[in-house]
Amino acid sequence: MQIVLSKKSDVSLRQQLAEQIVFLITTGQLQAGEELPSVRAFARQSKVHHNTVSEAYQDLVRRGWLTRRQGTRLVVGTGSGAPSGKPHDLDELINDSIQRARNMGYTLQALRQRVRERLLAQPPDHLLVVEQEPGLREIMEVEVRERLGWSAESCSPDEFTKEPGLAIGAQVLVANHLVEEMKPLVSPSRPAIGIVYSRASEEVDLIRKLQNPSIVAVVSVSESLLKTARSLLAPELGNRHTFKENLVAQGVPISLGAVDLAFCDSVTISLVRSRHKAHYRLIATDCLEYIAATLSQY
């Protein structure tokens, strides 16, 4: 067994010895049923007092890593209660890590900090949209999920500030003008990506092409989007067309039989029944392409 002990370490020799044996078992260098050297032989080999080896062995027997067979020396545990195999679930894995960290002399705060650092350094496995207004959050979440093929979640800036752990495993997406505010809250190795909204030029062109006075509607789950649309489309609507705005609750169908042209966001497009409806996508196409290119490196 390749065991290296340091008498200058703050971790006791007994703990160093015990945890290195555990490491050899979990990495497959010591197999189930394999005999360990006698206490005195191991003491001579590792140049420590035999009582230190005996205490380490006893600790591992109590924890189930080692077992004693009649007429033989200690062997690596093989029973169902021995933790020499893989943990059965995530809780067991976490409990084992906590116990091992404690046995090696680390505090739980040190473990928490190191685990957080390591998790933040891992490539993302989902997208996190950070936006204040619930309606806009919902629209952006739907669009990045559908267009990029990644799982997506969302939260408000206040929620993100109070729980910075939300950044773990996430590529943060936020409105472009809020990127600087996110910098202190995300890992420098994976900064937040700014979301740029589309310019709605296609929607304006559709209104210009209306030959007769018409009823134009905007349907959305976002109050902010409706407010912006009212001002953005006003010059084209003028006094010639009638404007209607419809704030829709999630999942509630809506019929617009009298409307000549209905602009629907990515959440409401499937809920609206209308003679002529157009899909307004909130996030600009080139912005989604940039996000996709950034994600491809992972």
Cα–Cα distance measured from residue 167 to residue 192, given in angstroms and rounded to the nearest whole number:
10
Q: What is the pLDDT of residues 94-103, one digit of tens each?
A: 888 888 788 7
CA distances to 19, 92, 147 from 34, rounded to whole Å, are: 17, 24, 54
pTM above threshold 0.75? no
Give the per-residue pLDDT at 84.
Answer: 44
Kindly report the CATH number that applies to the domain delimited by 13-89: 1.10.10.10
Residue numbers of the chain with a pLDDT score lower than 50: 79-85
Give the per-residue pLDDT at 78.
Answer: 64
For 114-125, letters b (16+ CB in 10 Å) and e give eeeeeebeeebe
Pick the CATH number of 124-196+289-296 from 3.40.50, 2.60.40, 3.30.70, 1.10.3470: 3.40.50
Q: What is the pLDDT of residues 123-148, one digit of tens each?
A: 899 999 999 999 999 999 999 999 99
